[in-house]
A and B are shown apart, each in its own frame.
Chain A
Amino acid sequence: MRKSVNRVWRRVMANKLISEMGLPKSIANIFAARNIHTAKDALSLTEFELMELLDVGLAEVTTAVSSISEISCPPYQTALSLLEQRMHNEHLAGHLPTRLKGLDAALCGGIPFGVITELVGPAGIGKTQFCLKLSLLASLPSSHGGLDGHVVYVDTESKFSSRRMIEIGVNSFPEIFQIEGMAQQMAGRILVLQPTTPTEFSECLQKIKDSLLQHHVKLLVIDSMAALVSGRDGQGQCRQHPLGWHMTFIKSLAEFSRIPVVVTNQVRSHSGDDPFHYSFQDSRQNLDFPTTFDSHLVAALGIPWAHAVSIRLVLESKSGQRFIKVAKSSMSPPVAFTFAISASGISLLHDDGIEMTGPEINAICGQVLKHFNVASSINDAHNIKYFRDFEVTVVYSIKNWSFRVVCG
């Protein structure tokens, strides 16, 4: 608790009052007289502007600015003390294990605390399944490797299925779920919010922030981020990203509460406007993205969002096999794992990943292998639930928006 209070206190460093900084009285009064009250006000002006505004010499301004900077600067620590602090205070030095051995090894323990982990992939690939499994893992008691806490699940597409989650629980942790009342207790720790408009989504986030500290929320899942944003996603002429405020808010939520935040993202087809080259590259020669329909998908929400997430896991399906790829992670080499969806959630077929040194680590393949008993339209593809009874293979082309059914 003390740690999170410290962080909350630190967040208002920018708003620290100059009057409380212990500067010499004369200069402090001058700042106040010119309406410069906080560190932010003072540091948003260059030294020459301050000289003009305050009518004092350069030497005085420089001294005042360097005192203000020193006081508003956050404290430093060595990387070693950071590591020791995390190992001491946090579960597995700040990781939520996914129980997928290969993936946990690649991520140095599991989904990291304090940053945004993104799951991106085409519809039906298994993002929600992954989220359900993670929610369960976070709510488990620590004796079983869980975080023993509450989970906030923001479901913007009404995809949350508690029936499916219990099924995953019963199949993965039978020894817990067979105990009387355990299923109810675990399910009781998962709080589902279902905002339907962007405004409601913003309000949800504010409410989450307020309750994070008080209640032992150990995981935040947002499924999905892209659903409430329509139209073009912040590229081209548009300067302000439509989700700009949400991005920074969620990032700072993750940071100050030191919990894992998992966000799912959709894909869209690659349009001619998507830039992939710099001015110094000869775009005619580069064939990063060959013109087969396979690679015609890109993650939604654009480049600023891609920068804001710390871990990007790409889920895709290619030649009949599903892959989960660690596309962006500052602590893992680029590696891909084959996976399958089963009654107990997601499982890796091999724990040894396939190292991918080229740009294919970022590519999202559009061929999707689906299992369902009735296919009516592409819209339904988003609402497909998993049926175990029989398999029907559907291969559909994103480009042509048509599909054919192959039974087998």
Chain B
Amino acid sequence: MEVSSLPISASHRAKLISAGYISISSLSSISPAHLARDLGISENEATGILKVASQRGGPERTIPSHHSIVDGAQTAWDMLHEEESCRRITTSCADLDDILGGGISCKEVTEIGGVPGIGKTQLGIQLAINVQIPLEYGGLAGKAVYIDTEGSFMVERVQQVAEACIKDMQEYDSFLRKDLPARQVNLQANDFLANIYYFRICSYTEQIAVINYLEKFISEHKDIKVVIVDSITFHFRQDFDDMALRTRLLGGMALKLMKLAKKFTLAVILLNQVTTKYSGGSFQLTLALGDSWSHACTNRIILYWNGNGRYAHIDKSPSIRSASAPYAVTGRGIRNLASNCKRVKLILRARLAHDEHICRSLI
């Protein structure tokens, strides 16, 4: 491994190279005092450099882990096991859950975009509530972080959706567990509201700051299982003259969010706006923030109008097939487009199937 790839300051790097230390192995058996004299820097600085070099030890060194080929790698078999046990957040719409393979996956960044009024904020609020569903109802019993950049978070609506969710849980009890002793759903709508951490962001600086701060925040609040940013676009759309800077900042944000998702096993949901692009001889709709951003997110869902209803289309996903499913925005939140009585039964059936699957895999 080369010294030029060490994460140290430019002048230190230059001094190392000009003093003849090209590879890391050349630093492995040298004392800080010796290095300090050679480079003409203080002993503290030399110690710092040697510390960084030792952390980046190459493959020759013995690594005390079972991944003996490349340090830090994970085998695909281990990842499969992780993926299967990873829970998903339901969207409360059975059709949508179906095409998503059960719901929004934790550990990944999902981008959801659509025209104004299609229901992005609605879906965001629904997920912020659904992540809190208790384990015995098939939920994650987690908390949510809602980062609002546009002021579209309406507390009254969150209350409505929370109340509807509690009602659903009560129906689930009475429908499925009627032979079992009655279990009281002891939750109130306000309990759901208390578990949503709300940040109101007014500029792109604050947006970058909050995403940087999230790592510390989430380590202090370990049960956060979803981070929703509504919307990621707003502060980056207007008044940004330097497009290259915008691309760099967006790229940095995407990487940090991916790291968050992986490190804390939570779902990151980014809501995006639409814009127009000229392609194939006509103007088409596309998600905002440009082509380089479209590579940044792991999954991409587009909400759109089709014929008579709202549809969700999986535009990009490494593991799920591309498909579309209808959904509806009702007074109770996001639900299936199917008729009223069928609605509840479908959701319950989906949950039953999920529970059965979990039981079977545990046996």
A residues with a Cβ closer than 8 A to B are 10-11, 13-14, 39-40, 43-44, 46-47, 49, 51-52, 54-59, 65-66, 68-70, 72-74, 76-80, 82-83, 86, 93, 108-109, 112, 114-115, 235-237, 240-241, 244-245, 247-248, 251-252, 254-255, 273-281, 283, 286-288, 303-304, 306-310, 312, 327-328, 330-334, 357-359, 361-362
Q: What separation, in Å, do the CA atoms of A65 and B237 have in the docked complex?
A: 24
Q: Which residues of A contact B135 (CB under 8 A)?
A: none
B209 touches A79 (CB 8 A): no
CB contact under 8 A between A108 and B286, given known A39-B205, A328-B117: no
A307 touches B116 (CB 8 A): yes
Q: Which residues of A contact B306 (CB under 8 A)?
A: 281, 286, 288
A78 touches B249 (CB 8 A): no
Residue in B195, B252, B285 whose CB lies within 8 Å of A46: B252
Shortest Cβ distance from A327 into B: residue = B117
Interface range on chain B (Cβ under 8 Å from partner): 35 or more
Shortest Cβ distance from A107 into B: residue = B156
B308 touches A11 (CB 8 A): no
Q: Which residues of B contact A78 (CB under 8 A)?
A: 193-198
B206 touches A13 (CB 8 A): yes
Q: Which residues of A contact B233 (CB under 8 A)?
A: 307
B201 at interface (Cβ–Cβ under 8 A)? Answer: yes
Distance to closest chain A CB from B274 (angstroms): 6
Distance to closest chain B CB from A48 (angstroms): 9
A77 touches B198 (CB 8 A): yes
Q: Which residues of B contact A70 (CB under 8 A)?
A: 209, 212-213, 216
Q: Which residues of B contact A51 (CB under 8 A)?
A: 7, 9-10
B190 touches A80 (CB 8 A): yes
Q: Which residues of A contact B280 (CB under 8 A)?
A: 279
B residues with a Cβ closer than 8 A to A are 7-12, 48, 52, 115-117, 121-122, 125, 145-146, 150-160, 190, 193-203, 205-206, 208-213, 215-217, 231, 233-234, 237-239, 245, 248-249, 252, 273-276, 278-280, 282-286, 302, 304-310, 313, 315, 322, 328-331, 337
A115 touches B152 (CB 8 A): yes
CB contact under 8 A between A57 and B212, given known A78-B197, A275-B284: no
A79 touches B286 (CB 8 A): no
Residue in A47, A49, A74, A287 whose CB lies within 8 Å of B199: A74
Q: What separation, in Å, do the CA atoms of A270 and B299 have in the docked complex?
A: 33
Q: Which residues of B contact A58 (CB under 8 A)?
A: 7-8
Q: Which residues of B contact A358 (CB under 8 A)?
A: 305, 307-309
Q: Which residues of B contact A237 (CB under 8 A)?
A: 278
Residue in B197, B200, B209, B252 whose CB lies within 8 Å of A39: B209
Distance to closest chain A CB from B340 (angstroms): 12
Shortest Cβ distance from B117 into A: residue = A328
Distance to closest chain A CB from B39 (angstroms): 14
Q: What separation, in Å, do the CA atoms of A303 and B237 have in the docked complex?
A: 12
